[in-house]
Amino acid sequence: MANHGVIEQSAGSLRQLAETGQEVIGYIYPHTPLELILAHGMVPSLLRAVPGVPSGYEASLQTFACSYVRNLYSLREDDQAGPLAGILFPSNTCDSLQNVSDVWTVRFPDDRLLRLTYPVSYGDPDTDAAIEFLTEEIRLLSDRIGSYFNRRFSLQAFERAVAMVNQFRDAARFIYAARAAQPDVIAYSQVARLIRSFLTAPTVSSVSDVHNTMNDIRNSLDDSGILTSVEEIQQALEARSLPATPIEPLGEGPRILVAGGMVEPESISALVNGIPSVTDTIIVVDLLSFGFKSVFTRNIDSTEDPFRQMAASILSAPGEPTQEGLRGRVRFLTDLARYLRIDGVIIFEQSFCDPDQFEAPSIEHSCREAQVRTTRVPIDPELSDRARMEVRIQSFLESLEEGGGRTR
C-alpha cells in the first residue's frame, strides 16, 4: 500500500473510533502510558504527520520547531487533526515539543490539553529516583484525565489494557526477531502498517491482526527449521543483552539497520520501496521511536501499584535522542549491528530535529570504529526532497555492494 493509502487508513480508524462513541486522546511522544488512558475508558491514538497539509505554523512557531511538529500544528490549523477529545503533550523532552505545546495552548484555547513531564535523568529502572518522579507524574495525569473528562481510573480496565498491550508487544517482538533472521519472511512495510494500526487505534482488532501475522510467520519458520534461532534472537533483543556470536541469517544482502528518532517506519518503507530495483527486504531492523523502541518497551507484569508499573515500563524503553544516555544508545546500536550482521546503517534525521542531529555524529563515529558504513538522510513528513533521498540511499547500497560493507 502506498504511503497516502496508509495515512487514509489511519484516519479511517480514528473516525471509526469516534463514530462508535469512543473518546480519543491524541499523543505525540512515543513513550506514553497507553494503559493509563485505556484504564480511564478512553483510547490513546498516536497523532500522525500527513504530507500535503497547508502550512499554518509560520505565524506562530519559532524556526527551531522541527518539521514533525510543524506538520502536526498545521494539521490542527487546517482542522485535520481528527476527532480528538484531548491531546497529551510531553514536557522535558525537546524544545520543539515544548514550543508547540505552549503555542497550541494560546492559539487553540478550547482544546483540552494534557501534559506528562518526564524525568531528566534515566538510570536503572528498578532503583532510580526517576521511577518515583514519573510514577507521581502519571498519577497527576490520571487525576487530570478524571476531572477533565469525568472518567475515573478503573483497575479492571487497567488489567484488560495491560493484557492487550502486552499481547501486542509480544507478537510484534517475535515479528521483529523473525525479520532479523530472515527479512523476506514479511515485508517491512507490512510490519510498519501493523504497528501503526495498533498505535493509531489500540483495539482488540488491531492486536488480533498482529497476533495472527505472528502465528502465520511462526508456522512458516517452523517448516524452515529456524524457529529456535528466532526465539533466541527475540530473547536477546528483549533483554538487550546481545550474545558475542553473531546470528546466521537467511536471505540475500545487503542487511541494513535504520536508525533515527521520531520518524515513521511507514515513511521509510515507502521511500525505500520507491527506489528502482530495491525493496524493503534490505531493512533488517529499525531503531526508530515508532518502531523498535515502542515494541521493545518492557511489559507490565507485576501486581504492584499500577502507576509505578507504568513508570517502570516507560523508563525501560530503548533510549531516545531526547534523553540522557547517548553513550549507551550508541553502544547498543553497534552491538546490534555486529550481532545481526548488519552491512550498513542509514541514519534518518527529522529535519530541524536538534536531538537527532546531535546524536547522528556519535552514531557515525562508533559505526566507523566498528567498520560498519553509514549514511545520513534528512527526512520530513512531506518527503519533500524524495528524489535526493532516493539517490543517496541507492548510492549507499551500491557502495556496500562494491565491498565497502562489513565482511561477513
Minimum distance, C-beta of residue 90 to ligand SF4, in the bound complex (Å): 9
Q: How far is the CB of 79 from ligand SF4 (least distance, A)?
A: 22
Closest CA to 380 of 71, 82, 21: 71
DSSP tag of 319: P
CB of residue 354 vs ligand SF4: minimum separation in angstroms?
A: 6
Residue choice 69, 114, 330, 397 for contact with ligand SF4 (CB under 6 A): 69
Q: Which is nearer to ligand SF4, 100 or 236 (CB)?
A: 100
DSSP 8-state assignment for residue 64:
T
Q: Which stretch binds ligand SF4 (CB under 6 A): 41-49, 90-98, 181-189, 236-244?
A: 90-98
Surface-to-core class of residue 252, CB atoms within 10 Å of its CB (0-12 exposed, 13-18 middle, 19+ buried) = exposed
> Minimum Å distance from CB 100 to ligand SF4?
8
The yes or no reply on residue 36 touching ligand SF4 (CB under 6 A) is no
Q: Is residue 319 within the footprint of ligand SF4 (CB under 6 A)?
A: no
Q: Quick one: 68 or 296, whose CB is closer to ligand SF4? A: 68
**Which of 266, 159, 164 is CA-nearest to residue 208?**
164
Q: Report, in Å, the least distance between residue 208 CB and ligand SF4.
A: 30
User: With 0-12 CB in 10 A as exposed, 13-18 as middle and 19+ as buried, what is 278?
Assistant: middle
177 phi-psi bin (left φ>0, alpha ψ -120 to 50, beta other): alpha
Taking residues 199 to 228 in sequence order and writing x for each that binds ligand SF4 by CB under 6 A, - otherwise, the string is: ------------------------------
10 Å CB burial of residue 54 (0-12, 13-18, 19+) is exposed
Which stretches does DSSP call E strand in 187-281?
A: 256-260
| Contact flags string 112-151 toward ligand SF4, x per CB under 6 A | ----------------------------------------
Binder of ligand SF4 out of 164, 247, 262, 287 (CB under 6 A): 262
The CA-based angle 318-324-330, given to 5 degrees, is 55
In order of 263, 276, 341, 406, the CA distances from 248 in angstroms are 29, 28, 8, 14
Over its C-alpha atoms, the chain yields an Rg (Å, rounded) of 20
| Residue 66 near ligand SF4 by CB under 6 A | yes
Write out the three cell numbers for 166.
502486552
With CB under 6 A as the contact rule, which of the stretches 39-47, 62-70, 175-183, 236-244 interacts with ligand SF4? 62-70
- Return the range that interacts with ligand SF4 (CB under 6 A); candidates 66-74, 110-118, 133-141, 199-207: 66-74
- Judge residue 407's burial from the number of C-beta atoms within 10 Å of its C-beta, 0-12 exposed, 13-18 middle, 19 or more buried: exposed
Residue 49 binding ligand SF4, by CB under 6 A:
no
CB of 390 to ligand SF4, least distance (A): 22
- Minimum CB–partner distance for residue 256 and ligand SF4 (Å): 21
Q: Rule CB under 6 A: is residue 68 a binding residue for ligand SF4?
A: yes
Residue 311 lies near ligand SF4 (rule: CB under 6 A): no
Q: How far is the CB of 141 from ligand SF4 (least distance, A)?
A: 19
Alpha-carbon gap, residue 179 to 244, rounded angstroms: 20
Stretch near ligand SF4 under the rule CB under 6 A, chosen from 93-101, 175-183, 241-249, 332-340: 93-101
Q: How far is CA 407 from CA 191, 316, 344, in A?
A: 28, 33, 11
Q: Which of residues 324-363 bind ligand SF4 (CB under 6 A)?
A: 350, 353-356
- Where does this chain bind ligand SF4 (CB under 6 A)? 66, 68-69, 94, 96-97, 261-262, 322, 350, 353-356
